[in-house]
Amino acid sequence: MNLLFSDDEKLSSAQGATAIFDPQPLPPPAYADGRSNWLDENPRYLVARSFHSRFLRDDRDINVYLPEAYLTEPSRRFPVFYLHDGQNLIDGRTSYVVNRTWRAGSTADDLIRRGLVEPVILVGVANTGVRRMAEYTPTRALRYGGGEGGRYGRLLVEDLKPAVDARFRTLPEAVNTALGGSSLGGLISLALGLDYPSVFGKLAVCSPSVWWDNRSVLALVNAAKPRPALKIWLDMGTGEGLRHLRDTDLLHRRLELRGWRDGIDLAYLRVPGAVHDEEAWAARFDQVLRFLFPPVADSDAEILANSSEIRDT
């Protein structure tokens, strides 16, 4: 059931087509003083400039960070983690606050090398600045407007994910596909996960803006029937404000009432002293990865390693 976008609201997908998705290992814009960056010419960090969608007016950059195993195990396929606000994830030169990122790439590399998470492809979807609020909100609020989350969801599901699956060796099933973000990005992750459980089976709902449109996301949780088979990470810092902490507590209780179980398919972390910024989200991104992408058993790893051969038969 589509909760966000009714049939009569859908844009015609017959008009136009997406641009060719061909991310390249080209260095992002260099520092003005010529300093180098660890991402420059890194063959595992790829950027697709100005990705075009049929469903939203603004193009956006897509950043892809591949695990080391992608290069060393050419027959293996990998799960994918789609993340909003892509410019804030890896490269400090593109982040909203210079050099303040989630450190997503280096954190994933460290955990994978230590065998604490399975190798995963990270896909960062850049926001478009002034239209971020509109695209990251599932409903239209009387005071703020917004409500283009349904179209943003179609960008992800109908344009971007098929392009990523075609270009890279992915495990495309929902159980191997996560969606996540913070603030409004956390809000839209939960809303789209409820709307597309057959596409996204894992969600990272970090510091979510539950307050949006009189907490309308709670109604979306109630309306999702039958309960989607989603694995959900939820968090909020105690330094983000009592109102937001109480809202997230309320969301957590609502998820429990709908049948999600702490420690099984739901994790809720209240982070002491954590505030609402990239540094705080970076500090707990390792926990997000460990919950959503735990290491697979040896037998499962062998199956995944040979899955490309299975698919081709």
What is the residue-wise DSSP string for 173-238?
Answer: SGGGEEEEEETHHHHHHHHHHHH-TTT--EEEEES--TTHHHHHHHHHHHH--SPP--EEEEEEEG
pLDDT at res. 35: 59
What's the whole-number mean pLDDT along residues 292-297? 92
* Mean pLDDT across 158-172: 97
CA distance 185 to 189: 6
Q: How far are the Cα atoms of 66, 73, 287 from residue 69, in angstroms, in the given order?
A: 8, 5, 21
- The rounded percent of the chain whose pLDDT value lies above 90 is 78
Query: Which one-letter amino acid corresponds to residue 18?
Result: T
> What would you report as the CA-atom Rg of the chain, rounded to the nearest whole angstrom?
19
Question: Which amino acid type is present at position 297?
Answer: A
Rounded to an integer, the average pLDDT of 233-238 is 98
- pLDDT reported for residue 39: 83
Task: Label residue 99 by pLDDT band (50, 70, 90).
Answer: confident
Mean pLDDT of the chain: 89
Lookup: tokens for 153: 């969801």
Quickly list DSSP for 18-42: PPP---B----PPPTT----TTTT-
Tokens of 163: 């392009």
Which of the residue ranges 24-28, 188-192, 218-222 would you say has the lowest mean pLDDT? Answer: 24-28
What does the pLDDT read at residue 41? Answer: 77
Q: Which domains does the chain have, with CATH numbers?
A: 35-204+282-312 (3.40.50.1820)
The C-alpha atoms of residue 118 and residue 120 are separated, in whole angstroms, by: 6
Q: Which of 163, 166, 263, 192 is nearest to 5 (CA)?
A: 192
Answer yes or no: is pLDDT of 306 > 80. Answer: no
Per-residue model confidence (pLDDT) at position 34: 57
Q: Which residues contact 31 (CB under 8 A, 6 or more apart)?
A: 37, 93
Task: Answer whether residue 166 shows pLDDT above 50.
Answer: yes
CA angle 121, 125, 126 (to 5 degrees): 140
The kind and range of the H/E element at 47 are: strand 45-51
Q: pTM value?
A: 0.89
pLDDT in tens, 58-72: 999 999 999 999 999
Cα separation, 191 vs 180, in Å, equals 11
- The count of residues in the chain is 313
Higher pLDDT, 307 or 276: 276
